[in-house]
Amino acid sequence: MSQYDYDLFTIGGGSGGVRAARFAGQAGARVGLAEKGDLGGTCVNVGCIPKKLMSYSAHFHEDFADAAGYGWTLHSEPTFDWPALIANKDREITHLNGIYQRLLDGANVSLHRGFATVEDAHTVSVEGKRFTARHILVATGGHPDKPQIPGRELGITSDDFFHLKGLPKRAVVLGGGYIAVELASILNGLGSDVTLVYRRERLLRNMDADLGIHLADEMAKKGIRLVFDASIAAIEAPHAGEDSVKQVRLTNGETVAAECVLFATGRTPNTRGLGLEQAGVVLKENGAVVVNENFESNVPSILAVGDVIDRVALTPVALAEAMVVVARLFGKGERVMSYQNIPTAVFSHPNVGTVGLTEEQARKAHGEVKIFKTDFKPLKNTLSRNTERTFMKLVVDAQTDKVLGVHMVGGDAGEVIQGFAVALQCGATKAQFDATIGIHPTSAEEFVTMRTPVA
């Protein structure tokens, strides 16, 4: 009989925690999992899933307009019902919460509802009940931040966005990253008057420069007002609440009136109150758990994966990290986590998809590179007279001919880039791209038909 109650105790029932618990349970380990909220974590409840559902909803606005060029007449103006969208979205999320519960049940994972704290290297306490475990996995995710701005309490974060009672008439979105451009696009598509305020001059600054530039042009064409090189200095309103009109004072001297001010200014790892420091675990300044390549903290029985380690805050990365942990602790062989060629998509309108190195990174790491670019009106936008243009870019190592980066702004960019991520993972060369037959007529075929590098 083991000296511990569990072989693995996972704190957090989000993407990383559930994945680790499930696969450890399936491998025969005795697993406990604590979750204080709804199963599925950020991705299922206040992230990827509701965001994408709402992004689909927002895109109908354009689809209705596009339909006319294809011979369709709508006999009345389409109207949008926010409570209906939120209720349907919530029903789908409840369904997913249930699936997560069944996955845990199916793997014999004991679920403990409540806030867990770490007492020592092998002890966890959940709502006054103590459990011992050979390994403790911290997979508590992160939460959105509000910057230190006077009146910050008048603004909301992405967590609140998904539960607004109504569509704000006017919204100011602060930030230039994933969440800012995605939620600004949703609000715009659904009919809000949106101003996006960003303290630099280029959106998505961690991606290839051309992506943010092209995206900004397209977002502006759709009616989003982009204010660069500025931030919010203060927010004023007679009272908090969704219906109050906020006066948003910008650092450039401008004032914008809006019912909704949304902060999309980054996320912080959830370690506060977990007891990790008392247990001797070293944290970074922002609270992230410091882990080695095996996802062990400096206290080896305490491990961590996902947003709480603040490496790459993406669901599929957390899943992969969890699989590495399970393989090492309960599997046959060792697996290592590779952070190379992680494809990612931003569900702005239009979508952004990217994998591999940016042009800047490639020049730094490989010296001479060849760049292939194209910017075109997709076939679908001809009859509709939609002015949205698609942008594609390949970054190629001039010495080895290896494709180092594939980047796109345009419809279904995420769907397109997923396949090219496999090609990059296999080390594909530009010659191999060229030897690949295109699928006609698609936008994606442009990636295998670009022949002339830019000067």
What track of x and - describes contact with ligand NDP for positions 70 through 109 (by CB under 6 A)?
A: ----------------------------------------
Is residue 226 part of the contact set for ligand NDP (CB under 6 A)? no
Strand partners, 250: 232
Q: Determine which helix (DSSP H) or strand (DSSP E) holds 221, and give its type and residue range.
A: helix 209-221
Determine the interface stretch with ligand NDP among 15-23, 33-41, 55-63, 345-353 (rule: CB under 6 A): 345-353
What track of x and - describes contact with ligand NDP for positions 346 through 385 (by CB under 6 A)?
A: xx--------------------------------------
Which residues does 373 contact at the CB level (< 8 Å), separation at least 6?
A: 210, 391, 392, 393, 394, 450, 454
Positive/negative CA dihedral, 204, 208, 212, 213? positive
Catalytically annotated residues: 440
For residue 98, the SS3 value is helix
Binding residue (CB under 6 A) for ligand NDP from 18, 85, 179, 423: 179
Binding residue (CB under 6 A) for ligand NDP from 174, 304, 396, 403: 174
Considering only CA atoms, which of 253, 331, 340 is closest in space to residue 294? 331
Is residue 69 part of the contact set for ligand NDP (CB under 6 A)? no
Binding residue (CB under 6 A) for ligand NDP from 216, 314, 395, 444: 314
Q: Judged by CB, which is closer to ligand NDP: 33, or 319?
A: 319
Exposed / middle / buried, residue 1 (Cβ in 10 Å: 0-12, 13-18, 19+):
exposed
Is residue 176 part of the contact set for ligand NDP (CB under 6 A)? yes
What track of x and - describes contact with ligand NDP for positions 267 through 306 (by CB under 6 A)?
A: x---------------------------------------
Is residue 316 part of the contact set for ligand NDP (CB under 6 A)? no
Strand partners, 225: 195
Least Cβ distance, residue 156 to ligand NDP (angstroms): 13
**Parallel/antiparallel/unpaired status of strands 110-113 and 170-174:** unpaired
Q: In the numeric block, which tokens belong to residue 230?
A: 């500025």
Rounded to 5 degrees, φ, ψ at 350 are -75, 165
Is residue 41 part of the contact set for ligand NDP (CB under 6 A)? no
DSSP letter, residue 279: T
Is residue 147 part of the contact set for ligand NDP (CB under 6 A)? yes
Q: Are 320 and 14 in contact (CB under 8 A)?
A: no
Strand partners, 119: none
The Cα 276–Cα 302 span in angstroms is: 9
Binding residue (CB under 6 A) for ligand NDP from 8, 31, 133, 180: 180
Q: Determine which helix (DSSP H) or strand (DSSP E) holds 366, and give its type and residue range.
A: helix 359-366
Considering only CA atoms, which of 43, 26, 52, 47 is closest in space to residue 104? 26
Binding residue (CB under 6 A) for ligand NDP from 89, 143, 152, 199: 199
Is residue 16 part of the contact set for ligand NDP (CB under 6 A)? no
Least Cβ distance, residue 352 to ligand NDP (angstroms): 9
Least Cβ distance, residue 319 to ligand NDP (angstroms): 13
For ligand NDP, the binding residues (CB under 6 A) are 147, 174-180, 182, 198-200, 205, 231, 264-267, 313-314, 344-347
